[in-house]
Amino acid sequence: MIKRTLYFGIPAYLKTKNEQLVIEIPDSDESKSVSTPARFLKPGRCDSKLTNNQFFCFSKSKSMDQLLPSTYYHIFNHANGDEDLFREPENYRYFLQQYHKHIDKIADTYAYCQMPNHFHLLVRIKAKEEVTSHLPGCENLAGVDASNFLSKQFSNFFNGYTKAFNNKYDRTGSLFLKPFKKKAISDREYLAASILYIHLNSVKHGFRKHPKDWEWSSYHSLHLERLNFIDSLFTNREKYFQAHEEKIKLYDDYGKLESYFLD
């Protein structure tokens, strides 16, 4: 088991040690084993003391334009104009079906919320080895073809849903705003806050008084499917739910939270 330094995201193999994050990544070559506290490095920076196995150095421009492997993202998008993305329950279900068809091969999904005219996702792009397994002959994600593949999967998903939506409702033209929005998540506080923000969207927009009453979100399942993940961020399931309740009670401050995430 190798402990490696984190780069611009919190991997799934996450533990806390002396208030510092430590990543454990299985590796058969124990001679490469290192033990390094995890650090969050800003785009455009790299640590010369780390090997390629420990850190991928990337430029600021690329980090802003491309999805990067082993990185958490808050991804969100909105319908064009006054359109709705979802007009009836079957639309919500079909969206999720097509989402898993296109995105599961490149990312793990941790949270989501579908609203009538927009959606939010919390995903972690898979490790480069997992992603490039879908790209024969491409050994890393530094190449243009490989980096484009990640965004292309999302584009294929949006285009496929739009085509089916247009056929069903006899409409033409694009349905989603372009390009879709994405924000890399660089610390655990931001990660935990992203979950709350996503789950409370139905409350924020006045559709429900409590997220448990909104069917189209991961509020109902995240603590069951990702228990270790929840425990790593909120300590335990009880505090996970308590954090949601506290945000609801302090809803007057929710506008500030929105500004922080979307502006």
Q: Where are the domains of the chain?
A: 1-43, 66-186, 187-263
Select the more confidently predicted residue: 224 or 16: 224
Q: What architecture is the 66-186 domain classified under in CATH?
A: 2-Layer Sandwich (3.30)
3-state secondary structure of 74: strand
Going across the sheet that includes 181-184, the strands are 107-115, 118-125, 72-78, 181-184
| Beta-carbon contacts of residue 185 (< 8 Å; ≥ 6 apart) | 9, 10, 71, 72, 73, 74, 122, 191, 194
* pLDDT for residue 204: 87
d(C-alpha 247, C-alpha 202), whole Å: 13
Q: Which helix (H) or strand (E) holds 92?
A: helix 89-103
pLDDT tens for 12-35 read 333 333 333 332 323 333 333 333
Mean pLDDT (the chain, rounded): 75
Comparing 87-96, 139-148, 188-197, which segment has the lowest mean pLDDT?
A: 139-148
H/E run at residue 98:
helix 89-103
Question: What is the Cα–Cα distance from 121 to 123, expressed in whole angstroms?
Answer: 6
Average pLDDT over residues 161-186: 94
Compute the distance between CA of residue 56 and CA of residue 51 in angstroms, rounded to an integer: 9
Strands 2-4 and 20-25 come out as: antiparallel
Range from 35-39, 90-94, 185-189, 237-241 carrying the lowest mean pLDDT: 35-39
Report the percent of the chain where pLDDT is more than 70: 65
Asked if residue 37 has a cis previous peptide bond (ω within 30° of 0), the answer is no
Considering only residues 225 and 59, tell me which one the structure prediction assigns the higher pLDDT: 225
Looking at residue 149, its pLDDT comes to 80
Most confident of 36-50, 122-136, 234-248: 234-248
Angle between helices 237-249 and 227-234 (to 10 degrees): 60
Mean pLDDT of the 140-153 span: 66
179 SS3 class:
coil
Of the two residues 12 and 163, the one the predictor is more confident about is 163
pLDDT band, residue 146 (cuts 50/70/90): low
Query: Nearest Cα to 70, choosing from 12, 22, 17, 114?
Result: 12
pTM flag (> 0.75):
no
pLDDT band at 59 (very low <50, low <70, confident <90, very high): very low
